Structure 1
């Protein structure tokens, strides 16, 4: 039943009461400030000149993503619709379900297996460049690897043989990224007045042309598998999804999680976990789940309420926006004991019902369709590094200042020392590079 009391917070007057600039400047600080002010993990404000309910409870986020999913539309088209074109990220209702069913063929177990040799090849090649004499800027290092993997899988590009084209695509996807970041927070300003936004639209045209060319000649990856799906016979549909999949979003998310994983396990009080993970995959799984809980690569998400619904006891009117905070839900003391403490042992019961407590990649009918591929890339990188190296973080997690949107990432380089394991070093370089 809905709670008798109204939503905590204050919607404010149109335009003058808008708090978009304050929110986007530091979303986590904004959330904590007003959650404390209103003594509630759920409250209402005005963002993008629209009444917006912030949801920070675990139950509330679960209801947004699963129980009330049919009452909501995705809320990202305003920011990215022009830049990426129509695709599954912006679709709703039956259209979204149809797209998901069609795209699921790309992420079957058979598909994941067929992509593994590409992932292994790129990882092995890049790890040869790892210089243990110098600290590694891990976010940049992992982002570069993930970018190469994504371009190889999604565009069928041999990044090692096509370095100029790889760099061109990377520059264009970076221009798109800057376009997303340039969407004006001032509700009086149109996004089309932004120079960065205009460059992002130009980059889209160039990338679509590259995608068309790659589709005609690719011999590996998604372009090949797409030809095997009769229902995927719309060129605009295919090109827009390859544009989305090969964007900067996925590499940055992968790099964000990997950075957090190696920073946390690279702290002196967690050195024993490195050996434990090497000998017991279950420990690795538990550590990775706890990293996802504490450091999700996406701080949360946005929905548009198209039909009145009740979230954690509060009635949310039609026409309101919702911002759900994965970061806050994963630290809900009503669900997690010592929610701000890194405790991999909390996942000893590693069953599906336990894993479903995480919203790192969403949940319900709009969860990340590429989750298993992303996790396979992440685990392959972790296991490859664990086989050959020990590591020490030169940065405390508490010292990292983050940019929160659209993907959580560090403002400054985060450095880690990698050192070849003694037992491998004694076997010689030839053997070590074959592991």
Structure 2
């Protein structure tokens, strides 16, 4: 059993949190090169922490040893969302997952399809109307918000515009507080972001509870009838499901999709005509540009990961960006190659961890797939697009949700109109 490469540092002074959060991709890349391996240690959040950047290590952490490496009960997500399927551990997490899974599969998922299609059409039909380049991330985030609030809360933008705008603003305030310092301070003329987030959460909970009491249809009606642990569980889960997290993740993936295929008419046409290739394109987008940088666990006992000893109470962070570029599994790991998913990596979708992996992975991957496929196929069937201007800084920032640091602008042209100039490239 080998010792983890690197140093856990000394308390406080040896902490590398700021360096990590400033640029997690460079942070990991530098240490992978330094230690010549994809598992290493340092001090983050003032706790000795193992970083996992390999497929093997990720699978052990999230699958084979998920009962050893647990969610952190002091995590900020618990403060902001309460005890949910995302934040709990052990039997409670399993029971919640069993209760909720049916809402994201089968007939419930099928009944959502027509609404998802209609929202995609309404939100994306005017991308070329102005004749000017579009800030695609903002447009896609609006699409995601409409999908989430309509499906989970029965609040539809075209039917209840004022309530929709209020909830959207509250969700944004809540999210910004979630990623700010958790200091609940309020003085005349100023309050901390965290304090503002708590106020937004309270107002959202009032709206959610009213919906649970008075709605009998759709997702909110079904959720209210589930056998959940206590009376607050349904409202806490709805708060999680309508959070800004899902629209931002969808906007991240859609932005990466449009950038990957910008100016590439041949790839777009093939993806539109060949369902298997379309699926491969979406997998490759998710592999190269995962919306979330990874996740964190705490070792409940002494254990090992990828052959290295991980002591009890160590933190463990898996980095999806690095796992997805593990050269032991993905040849030419930095290249956009959809063909890999019908060749060497066929059947290896379980090596991705954009939304977690194993028994604690995201509860709604099928719903996310429907969101993504509907929106991307609408774009493929209706538009050509290209970067405008052709030269833009597309360097990504990875926290809190991945996207280009400078919002990219893209010109869309209806397929029944003039094509994009072939000289424009992504």
Determine if the TM-score, normalized by the shorter chain, exceeds 0.5: yes
List alignment gaps of at least 5 residues for structure 1.
Answer: 185-190, 426-435
Give how far 1:228 is off.
4.3
Which position in structure 2 is the counterpart of 1:27?
Answer: 24
**Structure 2 length-normalised TM:** 0.92
Note the 1:356-395 alignment, pairs <5 A: 356-394=350-388
From 374, 397, 407, the equivalent of 2:401 is 407
2:42 equivalent to 1:50:
no
From 255, 258, 265, the equivalent of 2:261 is 265
Give how far 1:62 is off.
1.3
2:7 equivalent to 1:39:
no
Query: In the alignment, is the contact (CA less than 8 A) between 1:394 and 1:416 conserved in 2?
Result: yes
2:240 equivalent to 1:248:
no
Normalized per residue, which structure has more helix?
1
From 212, 228, 232, the equivalent of 1:232 is 228
Which position in structure 1 is the counterpart of 2:184?
Answer: 192
CA RMSD of aligned residues (A): 2.1
List alignment gaps of at least 5 residues for structure 2.
Answer: 186-190, 420-426
CA distance in 2, matches of 1:326, 1:70: 20
CA distance in 1, matches of 2:373, 2:73: 29
Give how far 1:423 is off.
7.7
> Are the structure 2 counterparts of residues 405 and 155 from structure 1 closer, same or farther at C-alpha, using a change threshold of 3 Å?
same
CA distance in 1, matches of 2:120, 2:411: 18
> Are the structure 2 counterparts of residues 395 and 255 from structure 1 closer, same or farther at C-alpha, using a change threshold of 3 Å?
farther
Deviations 1:205-232 (A, max 9, x none): 1000011122234364311222443x13
2:319 equivalent to 1:325:
yes
Secondary structure of 1:302's counterpart equals strand
> Are the structure 2 counterparts of residues 351 and 410 from structure 1 closer, same or farther at C-alpha, using a change threshold of 3 Å?
closer
> Are the structure 2 counterparts of residues 363 and 386 from structure 1 closer, same or farther at C-alpha, using a change threshold of 3 Å?
same
CA distance in 2, matches of 1:398, 1:362: 31
Query: In the alignment, is the contact (CA less than 8 A) between 1:263 and 1:395 conserved in 2?
Result: no
From 140, 149, 152, the equivalent of 2:150 is 152
Which position in structure 2 is the counterpart of 1:11?
Answer: 8
Secondary structure of 1:375's counterpart equals helix
Secondary structure of 2:356's counterpart equals coil
Which position in structure 2 is the counterpart of 1:347?
Answer: 341
Query: In the alignment, is the contact (CA less than 8 A) between 1:81 and 1:90 conserved in 2?
Result: yes
2:289 equivalent to 1:295:
yes
CA distance in 1, matches of 2:39, 2:104: 35
From 70, 75, 87, the equivalent of 1:73 is 70
Which position in structure 1 is the counterpart of 2:276?
Answer: 282
Deviations 1:316-370 (A, max 9, x none): 1110000101100111111111111111100115998322122222111001111
